Amino acid sequence: MRGEVAVICSQIIAFSLLFTSCEGIAKEKKEVYANKEGQVRLQDDYYDYINGSLIQKKQIPADETGWNYFNEVSNQAEKQLNDELKHIVTHRDEYEKNSSEYKIASIYLTAKDMERRDLVGFGDLKPYINRLLCSKNISEYLKAMAVIQKDLGKGSLFALEAQADLKNSNQYALYIGEPNLMIGKEGFTRDYFEDRREAYKNYITEILKTLGEKKENVVKISEKIYELQEQLAKEALDAEESGNPSVIYNPLTKEELKNIFTNIDILGYLTDSGLDNYQNYIAVNPAVLKTVNQYLKEGNLSLLKKYSAFILVSNYSGYLTKEIQDDNQNFVQILNGTKEKPSEEKTWSRITQELVPMEFGKIYVEKNFSAKDKKKIEKMIDKILMAYQKKIEGLDWMSADTKTEAKKKLDCMTVKVGYPDLWSEELKQVSVKAPEEEGVFINNVLNIQKTAAKRQQEKMNKPVDKSEWGMSPQTVNAYYNPSANEIVFPAAILQEPFYNRAKSEAVNLGGIGMVIAHEITHAFDNNGAKYDEKGNLHNWWTQEDYKNFEKLNEKVIEYYNQYEIIDGYKVNGKLTLGENIADLGAMSCVSDIVGNNKTKLRKLYTQYAKIWACKYNKEEQLSRMNSDPHSPGKVRVNAVLSSMDKFYRAYSIKKGDRMYVAPKDRVNVYE
């Protein structure tokens, strides 16, 4: 969630997003984009030419890490939903007690009741903590962990999550994910993250104190917890590997699982966690699990108990006492460089919205999204899919056999626009208590999560639910889900500056059209290309075509490696490959639709440059550089356009201009 450290990635197999959303910011910093309009020639720096003066004017809010249109639109949605929330709260008594509205109001009112939160402390989380801390041996410790996994769906030494089996996309498999490292693998290794490491140690110390650890011991214990994570970080996957299905798909038989976890009864643990009935168990990173196993010894019992209790409390820090909430926010501020914490008002509203995102999504859609827009967008998607068929047909490096398969994949692609066909009824099953009924925030939160965890367990013997959405409608983003072969566009991205039905086709193609084509291209990027039309990992390429594809990928990596991010740091071409392929393919596709009219092409490129305008503080830039699979906004614009032949014609770019790249050095896998 925003303003907190996400403890376990909610999605072990990541979707390919359009954009990585940032957490709020701002440190004093001389802007890299110091150009005022007129000072820079578009032939030298198209991004700065279009966005320079706007970026200069934009102020980064004190509680945010940066500015871009994605965040701006997202903040508008949050504010609007906050108004709706306030309305519901004011009129609470007009709703039935079991209605979503009444429950939402109760969640919010208990979130706000800091006095009660302080008084109750850990609330219903307490028995879970106690059981962990009181375990007398590894076996009891694992039983305590399994109850947390079963009831709340949370792990600490590894994550367990049901997701579509990548080789059989209709069936769920249980994924055994990596441990939660809190500051990421890079946080432990990069020189320039020293302040993060110190802040993290301090944070562990503060949380241990709230757990009643004696003052004289806390520093020593937090050092040990830190060391444990540092060891695990050594085996953790690099950011550039974590999306690669060839790396993360490691199916294990029960026997093989036992061979990894030689120190414990892993099958018993899965049974106690209610997760023992899967056809397939898949380790995301077997090497790190072997390291986890080495720690699962009686001699480490005290360390493990405290580590898991710390992670558990940290997971819930936003819902507990003021002290714990502050500890977390102070730590997060060091990570993201924000000048101020979000106001309490904002925090209560935000956490309420994030706890039941689909309930708020329904409200958002009712207020903002018309059936007319949905139809228009669907029509646009059809047109872009047709253009993509043509594009595939015209590729000179791909044989007819592979083209047939690629076109089949396009034909079978599922399209989701705006909001889900069916709204989740989950909140109906959740017991939420209002303040008058002695309702306590943390208990309400735990009840929401218990219902979600139960649903996760119920998944195991059913076919994969393809109607599910991985994003709420009020999210300003889009994604391609490779194991469903689907592209998804939430309602909130279907507005300015991405889409405006009153504007010309060329402008909309530079905004939402590019977004749509970007998600389509993910089906054929370095990772997406490994999945077939049904979303299964299965090779549909001829050997020669795949070799050609890999050669083109290498060229894209080298091309992006040359672009600078900040202060001498260059783009990591390997980490950003999939996103770069998607940007290049998308712009090539929408340029095809626009044709050769210079005025229209200019409109297209202007809008494209506009949607990627952004400004971040130093901390955010460093975080992104290490883990964001997307290139920075400026590179997304300039690197892509410098590789588009039509861009050269639209603006008469010539040798000697800084945007100029020699034709032989231009890249595009799908051109």
Helix spans in 135-212 (H): 138-152, 184-189, 194-210
Interacting span for Zn ion (CB under 5 A) from 18-26, 200-208, 290-298, 314-322: 18-26
Closer residue to Zn ion (CB): 3 or 578: 578
- In whole angstroms, the minimum distance from the beta carbon of 239 to Zn ion comes to 15
- Which run of H or of E encompasses 168? strand 168-176
Q: In what order do the strands lie in the sheet with 250-252?
A: 160-165, 168-176, 281-283, 250-252
Is 645 within 8 Å of 624 (Cβ atoms)?
no
- In whole angstroms, the minimum distance from the beta carbon of 56 to Zn ion comes to 28
Closer residue to Zn ion (CB): 556 or 582: 582
CA dihedral 242→245→248→254, nearest 10 degrees, is: 160
- In whole angstroms, the minimum distance from the beta carbon of 174 to Zn ion comes to 27
**Number of residues located near Zn ion, criterion CB under 5 A:** 4
> What is the C-alpha to C-alpha distance for residues 178 and 12, in angstroms, rounded to an integer?
9
Asked if 16 is part of the footprint of Zn ion (rule: CB under 5 A), the reply reads yes
- Which run of H or of E encompasses 452? helix 441-458
Interacting span for Zn ion (CB under 5 A) from 11-19, 36-44, 213-221, 563-571: 11-19
Q: How many CB atoms neighbour CB 591 within 10 A?
A: 28
Is 308 within 8 Å of 155 (Cβ atoms)?
no
Closer residue to Zn ion (CB): 159 or 493: 493
Closer residue to Zn ion (CB): 487 or 622: 487
In the region spanning residues 581 to 620, those forming contacts with Zn ion, defined by CB under 5 A, are: 582
Beta-carbon contacts of 110 under 8 Å, excluding residues fewer than 6 positions away, are 116, 117, 433, 434, 435, 439, 440, 441, 444
- In whole angstroms, the minimum distance from the beta carbon of 522 to Zn ion comes to 6
**Phi-psi bin for 564: left (phi > 0), alpha (psi -120 to 50), beta?**
beta
Closer residue to Zn ion (CB): 88 or 582: 582
Closer residue to Zn ion (CB): 207 or 582: 582
At 397, give phi and psi (nearest 5°): -100, 0
Q: In the beta sheet, which residues pair with residue 175?
A: 161, 282
Closer residue to Zn ion (CB): 187 or 528: 528
Interacting span for Zn ion (CB under 5 A) from 9-17, 215-223, 485-493, 554-562: 9-17
Burial 100-123 (b: 16+ CB within 10 A, else e): bbbbbbbbbbbbbbeebbeebebb
Residue keyed to tokens 């600490």:
156
Interacting span for Zn ion (CB under 5 A) from 80-88, 209-217, 571-579, 659-667: 571-579
- In whole angstroms, the minimum distance from the beta carbon of 524 to Zn ion comes to 12
- In whole angstroms, the minimum distance from the beta carbon of 40 to Zn ion comes to 28
Interacting span for Zn ion (CB under 5 A) from 153-161, 249-257, 350-358, 572-580: 572-580
Q: In what order do the strands lie in the sheet with 414-418?
A: 16-17, 479-481, 486-490, 414-418
- In whole angstroms, the minimum distance from the beta carbon of 18 to Zn ion comes to 5
Closer residue to Zn ion (CB): 82 or 643: 643
- In whole angstroms, the minimum distance from the beta carbon of 518 to Zn ion comes to 6
Asked if 481 is part of the footprint of Zn ion (rule: CB under 5 A), the reply reads no
Rg of the chain over all Cα atoms, to the nearest angstrom: 25
- In whole angstroms, the minimum distance from the beta carbon of 231 to Zn ion comes to 33
Interacting span for Zn ion (CB under 5 A) from 12-20, 54-62, 299-307, 526-534: 12-20
Interacting span for Zn ion (CB under 5 A) from 14-22, 43-51, 273-281, 544-552: 14-22
Closer residue to Zn ion (CB): 60 or 248: 248
Residues binding Zn ion (CB under 5 A) = 16, 18, 579, 582
